[in-house]
């Protein structure tokens, strides 16, 4: 019974699965007044009930333990930019020197949604800037409007890469597909290496191509790669090209990191280092778990069942993205 429920949940997942799920915000503070502007892809808004009110209920600004008052808000569709744009005017009790932000946009969109907030504070010495990244795991941050130390910058960038690697169910399924396809430790290392190499290649190459792939295309192609890898596990147990599929998946996962790096303007090195560490840990845990399950429940054929579920997931996800 539990197995059927888990498989049913996996097959429902494609309807809500997004590799690329990101919105951006700009906060401009002058004296006690602040203006916040959010831009979100239209395909993300489809997940939100009553988007205008839900968005402004999901983000809050405060200073010195007093929340800024929302004075006015508007939302409209930017058809040309394929975006939903919201603007809110706020008032603080006194001019802030730091701002505490609470952001729950991932709770009203999709679990792996990332919101990048850039902020500017008009000060006597000039305009000060800061930024923060929010997701389902990190919903609070403090904008201090001072340059980070080298250690703070490295920790923030590596941590962002680490979290993004586990950013949602789709990223975990990519890694689960690789762990399922590995027929031994050496092959697991080879698949992990090719997956990471594909990510790095995509991140390094994309800025020089001038090509910005549509999220729908990226997700449809990734879905086909997951489905093909599942077919190899089921029907081609001796196939020797799994490393190529791992690299292919890595390239499409790398496009997600490319978008993230574009938005945050973080250097790629620390972000990819954090992502690589997270992926290595996840692959090791998944591979050990699959191996133990295969030994304990051999009669239930857990590898074949899991591969069948991944195949169904990939096919359903592919057709849903073609229609979206």
Q: What is the CATH number of the domain that holds 109?
A: 2.60.40
Provide the pairing of β-strand 59-63 with 66-67: antiparallel
- In terms of residue numbers, what domain contains 76? 22-147
Number of domains comprising the chain? 2
In a domain, 47, yes or no: yes
Number of H helices, E strands in the chain: 11, 10
In a domain, 207, yes or no: yes
pLDDT at residue 2 greater than cutoff 70: no
Residues 138, 62: one domain? Answer: yes
Across the strands, what pairs with 62? 67, 100
* Residue owning tokens 């930017």: 78
pLDDT at residue 17 greater than cutoff 60: no
In a domain, 8, yes or no: no
60-79 mean pLDDT: 95
Higher pLDDT, 47 or 142: 142
Residues 34, 125: one domain? Answer: yes
Q: Coil, strand, or helix at residue 194? A: helix
In a domain, 89, yes or no: yes
What are the backbone angles phi and psi of residue 117, rounded to the nearest 5°?
-110, 125
In a domain, 11, yes or no: no
Last residue of a domain, one of 147, 177, 197: 147
pLDDT at residue 108 greater than cutoff 60: yes
Q: Coil, strand, or helix at residue 48? A: coil
In a domain, 75, yes or no: yes
Q: Are 19 and 114 in contact (CB under 8 A)?
A: no
Lowest mean pLDDT segment, chosen from 151-165, 175-189, 261-275, 300-314: 300-314
In a domain, 15, yes or no: no
């Amino acid at each position: 019974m539990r197995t059927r429920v888990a498989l049913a949940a996996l097959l429902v997942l494609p309807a809500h699965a997004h590799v690329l799920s990101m919105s951006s915000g700009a906060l401009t503070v002058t004296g006690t007044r602040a203006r916040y502007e959010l831009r979100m892809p239209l395909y993300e808004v489809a997940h939100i009930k009553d988007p205008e009110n839900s968005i402004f209920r999901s983000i809050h600004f405060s200073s010195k333990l007093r929340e800024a008052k929302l004075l006015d808000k508007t939302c409209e569709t930017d058809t040309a930019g394929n975006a939903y744009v919201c603007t809110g005017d706020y008032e603080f009790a006194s001019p802030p020197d730091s701002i505490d932000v609470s952001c729950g946009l991932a709770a009203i969109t999709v679990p792996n949604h990332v919101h990048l907030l850039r902020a500017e504070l008009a000060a006597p010495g000039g305009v000060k800037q800061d930024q923060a990244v929010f997701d389902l795991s990190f919903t609070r941050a403090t904008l201090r409007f001072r340059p980070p130390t080298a250690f703070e910058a490295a920790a923030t960038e590596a941590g962002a890469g680490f979290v993004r690697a586990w950013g949602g169910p789709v990223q975990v399924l990519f890694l689960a597909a690789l762990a399922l396809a590995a027929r031994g430790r050496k092959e697991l290392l080879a698949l992990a290496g090719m997956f990471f190499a594909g990510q790095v290649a995509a991140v390094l190459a994309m800025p020089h191509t001038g090509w910005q792939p549509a999220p729908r295309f990226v997700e449809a192609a990734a879905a086909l790669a997951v489905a093909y890898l599942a077919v190899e596990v089921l029907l081609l147990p001796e196939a020797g090209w799994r490393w190529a599929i791992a690299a292919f998946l890595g390239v499409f996962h790398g496009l997600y990191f490319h978008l993230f790096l574009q938005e945050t303007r973080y250097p790629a090195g620390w972000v990819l280092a954090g992502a690589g560490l997270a992926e290595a840990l996840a692959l090791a845990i998944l591979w050990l778990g699959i191996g133990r399950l295969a030994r304990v429940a051999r009669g239930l054929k857990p590898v074949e069942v899991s591969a069948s579920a991944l195949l169904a997931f990939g096919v359903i996800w592919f057709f849903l993205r073609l229609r979206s």
